[in-house]
Structure formats: C-alpha cells, structure tokens
C-alpha cells in the first residue's frame, strides 16, 4: 500500500513537473511574429501593389470582409482559429469578419502557429535540409503530455494521440511546408486565392478571397521569420521552464513586443522564393542565421578543466563540444579572473563564457540577446519585405485598343510552367464575367500574343496569370478601365 502510494505520488510529481510553464525557444507569434511581419510589410511594395494592381485605394489599410455567411467549411474552420487571436494586437477580425489588409496579413503570421503544433513545421537545418527531429527530447515528452491532456474543440487530445494526429516531435522542413497540401495557408493557396480575388463574380467574394490570400502571405512570411530564429535553424527544440532565467525569444517579446520593433532595412532580393530561406550561395536567412548565431540548446558543451591542460587543449576541447561547425570558437580568453567574457563576431557579443573552478562554462546572457536582436531583427524584416515583393513580382499591363485587350507581363524569369492566363470583364454593377476559357501560356511572348475581344458592356477588364517560373510561383494581376480621361 505504502509502495503504491510512493509510485503514484512520484508519477504525479513528474507529470506536474512537465506541466509547469515551459516554452520552447521560438519567437512569440502574437507579438514578435506579427510585429516583424508588419515592419516587413511596411517596407515592401505591397501597399503600392494593392492600390495600383488590386485597385484597393487604401492599400495595406483597406478594409476587407471575410464573408462568413456564404463561407465554405474550410473558411468556417479558419474563422474558428481567427477568433482565438488577441484583439489588443489589432489583427483579430471584427464580428462581421472585417479587418484591414495589413491586419489579415498579420493574422496569417499568427495563424501559422495556431494551433501551436503547426510550429513544428517551421524548422529547417541548413546542414542537412531536414526539419525538426526531437523524438528523444525531454521537451518532446512534455509536448506529448500536453497534447494528451488538453481537451476542447479543435485541440489535440487523448483521442487525437490515438489516431495519430498529435505531435510526435518531428516536422517537415519549413521549405517543404511552404508548399505542402497539409498547409492550408501555403504558397500554393496564396496563388489560388490571389487568382480568385480577381475572377470571382461579386465584390464580396473577391474581398473574401483577397483576405485569404493575405492570410497565406502572412503565414508564408511567418515561416521565413522563423528562419531568423537561431533555435529553428539549429534543430534546437529545448523547452525552458519560464521561471528560469530569461531566454532570447522572451527577451525579444518583452523588450520589443509587437509595437517596439526596429524599422525594416532595404528589402532583400533573392533569385527564388526558396532562396529567401536557403540557397547554395549561403545567403538564405536560415543559412545566415545558422552560421552566425548560437541558440541556447546549441552552445558549446562545458569543458572540464584540469591544472595540466594548456590553453590550446582547452580550445580544442571547446571546439569539439560544438553542435555545428559554425559559429566556431576562433579564440577565447581563458584567464582565471572570475569574469563573464564574450566571443565577439561582426562586432557583437555572440556567446558568453566564464571560467569556473573546474570547467569552462558557455551560455547566452542578456548582453548576447540584446546584440543578437539588434543584428537579426532588422535583417528578418528586410527578408520579409523582400519575400512579399517576390510573391507579387510579376506585373501585368493591359491595353485596350480597337475593342480588343492585350496583356504584357513584366518580371518573368524564363519560361512559365503550367502558365494560365484568365481574363474577366466587369459590368457596371461590379459583377465579373469570364472572357472565355483560361489560356495556356508558356512565356511572356505567349502572354503578349493574347488578344481577346472586349464585350461592349465591360467597364473594366482584369487579367490573372498563374504558373511558375525560375523564381517560383507566379500570382499576377492586372486590369484596365475601358474608358478614361
């Protein structure tokens, strides 16, 4: 009897220990992710494109309503996730389903990790090309337990664990997640909804479609933002008890929140969508973050010290304790002066270390967090701005002459795979109608060769180009009025 009490009590203690507040090293979706995206969006061309190509006069501040009355099942499921968001941050839609374009974009960045388990697909390890794999980790056990005991609508639970739906501490690489059929906010869905935002019949339908396209763009940007988070590119799924010392991500959330993040640098330009995350030139954001920053779970292992050891031997042992070749430890000051010292890279403090009586201890402290944030946050925003520009890089120019419309495409790189050009015309009531079947196009010359008669009742003609070129998926829109002064 006594023994069974002890065993049961120990089990309960262990379980409660796992349940104590723990947080893996990840940017806080509600504040940091949304704020980085907002700064990136403000630094991008999206505002101008929404005005000029999409005819949304307020650009990023244009109100768009997600039509709930006529919504499909997937839209209703999406709505159930949207109402979980924090109204104080400005991106939760109103009860009518209304929100600004920037709000929809920001909401997408948060929905990308709502439910939280979706965040498992935001990892990418540049050295292997793989995603998260922490099946043996202690933090994984806590996560599994959390999933098992939580209950409620739309959540993982005992049943979902039994049916294999719950989180098994692995995830697909973020580069694959961007295009995955399991991802309802993927790049593929972005292209689809951009197309629908132009071709659907009624203004309300087109509003809803544009809102959903922006959600997808925001979620895509969230994946990129996590490529600028050291733990996400160093397979570091370590969860820290929140009562423990401050970690980098918590420092960023508390110091900057959503509203206090630095302004974006000049948008980064990359040759393809995936190259924003990783590329052979090593200039993807994941590549750069991986080789330049330590995460808390990938700092060098402590080096035991003995009186006979030389400085060179200590450095060699420290190097052997690195989880990855970079960043490395080119030099350390091993003087026994009981002071915290810093490994400096690019003029910033990248790693803290201290000589203790019997070991050399490596760690990250607030000084490292501060310098890391100062270096990487504006860079993330510049990559986000660049990725948003990249998603809308192709421009369509429509010319109406002699009752016919022709289309010019700018910004294409090479042939178009699976290219389709759709034309619709708009009547005086704002209803849009197809101008025949979608036309297969293989390159910009094929686009330019299209000439279609414009109906007499048309007040506007709109074109949509979908497909893929060397730079990635294409979602381009253009339009022209049939009259102008």
Residues 417-456 that bind another protein (CB under 8 A): 426, 430
Q: Which is nearer to another protein, 167 or 369 (CB)?
A: 167
Chain residues 7-66 in contact with another protein, contact rule CB under 8 A: 11-12, 15-16, 18-19, 21-24, 26, 28-30, 38, 42, 47-48, 51-65
Site for another protein in 318-357 (CB under 8 A): none
CB of 391 to another protein, least distance (A): 16
Size of the chain, expressed as the number of residues it contains: 485
> Of 88-96, 218-226, 345-353, 358-366, which segment contacts another protein by CB under 8 A?
88-96
Q: Is 167 in the site for another protein (CB under 8 A)?
A: yes
The one segment of 147-155, 172-180, 285-293, 379-387 that binds another protein by CB under 8 A: 147-155
Contact status: 174 vs another protein (CB under 8 A): no
Q: Determine contact, residues 76/115, Cβ cutoff 8 Å.
A: no
Under rule CB under 8 A, which residues in 214-253 are in contact with another protein?
Answer: 237, 239
Question: Which residues 251-280 are close enough to bind another protein by CB under 8 A?
Answer: 254-261
In angstroms, what CA-CA distances link 179 with 109, 126, 133?
16, 18, 20
Please, are residues 108 and 46 in contact by the beta-carbon 8 Å criterion? no
Q: Which of 66, 124, 131, 143 contacts another protein by CB under 8 A?
A: 143
Does position 408 interact with another protein (CB under 8 A)? The reply is no
Strands 303-304 and 341-345: unpaired
Geometric angle at alpha carbon 307, from 306 and 310, rounded to 5° = 90
CB of 473 to another protein, least distance (A): 19
Sequence-ordered alpha helix ranges (H) in 92-202: 101-111, 138-149, 158-162, 174-177, 187-199
CA within 13 Å, CB half, 204 = 7
**First-residue to last-residue Cα distance in the chain:** 93
Q: Answer yes or no: are the C-beta atoms of 426 and 460 closer than 8 Å.
A: yes
Distances (CA, A) of 339 to 135, 304, 331, 353, 359: 37, 17, 16, 9, 14
Q: Which of the ranges 78-86, 413-421, 435-443, 468-476 carries the binding residues for another protein, by CB under 8 A?
A: 78-86
From candidates 110, 166, 274, 332, binder to another protein by CB under 8 A: 110
- Binder to another protein among 83, 335, 356, 457 (CB under 8 A)? 83
- Phi then psi for residue 328, to 5 deg, are -100, -175
Question: Least distance (Å) from another protein to the CB of residue 61?
Answer: 4
Closer to another protein by CB, 83 or 340: give it. Answer: 83
Q: Which of 6, 10, 76, 84 binds another protein (CB under 8 A)?
A: 84
CB of 99 to another protein, least distance (A): 8
Nearer to another protein by Cβ, of 58 and 367: the residue is 58
For residue 363, the minimal CB distance to another protein (Å) is: 21
CB atoms within 10 A of CB 21: 9
Total of residues contacting another protein (CB under 8 A): 102
What would the DSSP string read from start to end of 247-305? -HHHHHHHHHTTTSPPPP-SPP--SSSGGGT--TTS-SHHHHHHHH---GGGSPPPEE-
Instruction: Give the angle 230-233-238 at the CA atoms, nearest 5°.
Output: 70
Closest distance of CB 245 from another protein, Å: 15
Residue 390 CB, shortest distance to another protein, in Å, is: 19
Whether the CB-CB separation of 377 and 36 falls below 8 Å is answered with yes
CB of 356 to another protein, least distance (A): 30
CB of 184 to another protein, least distance (A): 15
Query: SS3 breakdown of the chain: % helix, strand, coil, rounded to 5?
Result: 40, 20, 40
Residue placing its CB nearer to another protein in the complex, 98 or 184? 98
Q: Which is nearer to another protein, 209 or 265 (CB)?
A: 209
Contacts of 258 (CB under 8 A, 6+ apart): 30, 31, 32, 34, 35, 38, 89
For residue 104, the minimal CB distance to another protein (Å) is 13
- Give the interface segment with another protein, choosing from 149-157, 183-191, 291-299, 305-313 (CB under 8 A): 149-157
Positions 178 through 197 that interact with another protein (CB under 8 A) = 197
């Amino acid at each position: 009897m006594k023994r069974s009490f002890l065993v049961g009590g120990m089990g309960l203690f262990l379980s409660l220990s796992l349940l104590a507040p723990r947080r893996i090293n990840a940017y806080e979706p509600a504040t940091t992710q949304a704020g980085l995206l907002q700064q990136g969006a403000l630094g991008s061309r999206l505002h101008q494109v929404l005005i000029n190509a999409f005819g949304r006069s307020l650009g990023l501040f244009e109100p768009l309503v997600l039509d709930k009355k006529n919504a499909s099942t997937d839209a209703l499921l999406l709505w159930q996730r949207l109402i979980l968001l924090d109204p104080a941050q400005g991106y939760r839609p109103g009860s009518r389903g209304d929100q600004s374009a920037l709000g929809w974009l920001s909401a997408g960045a948060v929905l990308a990790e709502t439910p939280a388990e979706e965040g498992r697909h935001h990892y990418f390890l540049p050295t292997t090309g793989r995603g998260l794999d922490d099946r043996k980790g202690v933090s994984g056990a806590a996560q599994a337990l959390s999933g098992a005991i939580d209950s409620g609508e739309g959540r993982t639970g005992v049943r979902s664990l039994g049916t294999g739906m719950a989180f098994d501490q692995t995830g697909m690489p973020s580069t694959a997640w961007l295009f995955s059929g399991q991802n309802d906010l993927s790049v593929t869905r972005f292209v689809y909804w951009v197309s629908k935002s132009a071709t659907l019949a009624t203004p309300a339908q087109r509003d809803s479609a544009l809102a959903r396209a922006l959600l997808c763009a925001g979620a895509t940007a969230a994946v990129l933002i996590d490529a600028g988070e050291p733990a996400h590119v160093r397979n570091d799924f370590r969860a820290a008890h929140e009562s423990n010392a401050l970690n980098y991500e918590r420092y960023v959330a508390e110091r900057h929140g959503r509203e206090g993040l630095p302004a974006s640098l000049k948008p980064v330009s990359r040759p393809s969508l995936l190259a924003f995350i990783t590329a052979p030139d090593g200039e993807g954001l994941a590549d750069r973050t991986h080789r330049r920053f330590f995460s808390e779970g990938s700092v060098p292992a402590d080096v035991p010290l003995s009186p006979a050891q030389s400085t060179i031997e200590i450095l060699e042992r420290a190097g052997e304790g690195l989880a990855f070749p970079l960043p490395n430890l080119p030099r350390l000051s091993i003087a026994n002066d009981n002071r915290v010292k810093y490994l400096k890279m690019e003029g910033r403090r990248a790693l803290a270390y201290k000589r203790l009586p019997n070991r050399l201890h490596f760690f990250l402290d607030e000084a490292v967090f501060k310098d890391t944030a100062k270096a990487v946050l504006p860079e993330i925003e510049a990559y986000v701005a660049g990725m948003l520009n990249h998603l809308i890089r192709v421009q369509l120019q429509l010319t109406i002459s002699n009752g016919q419309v022709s289309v010019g495409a700018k910004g294409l790189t090479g042939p178009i795979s699976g290219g389709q050009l759709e034309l619709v015309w708009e009547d005086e009531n704002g209803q849009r109608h197809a101008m025949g079947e979608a036309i297969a196009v293989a390159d910009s010359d094929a686009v330019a060769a299209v000439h279609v008669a414009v109906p007499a009742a048309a007040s506007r003609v709109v074109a949509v180009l979908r497909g893929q070129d060397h730079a990635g998926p294409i979602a381009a829109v253009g339009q022209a009025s049939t009259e102008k002064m």
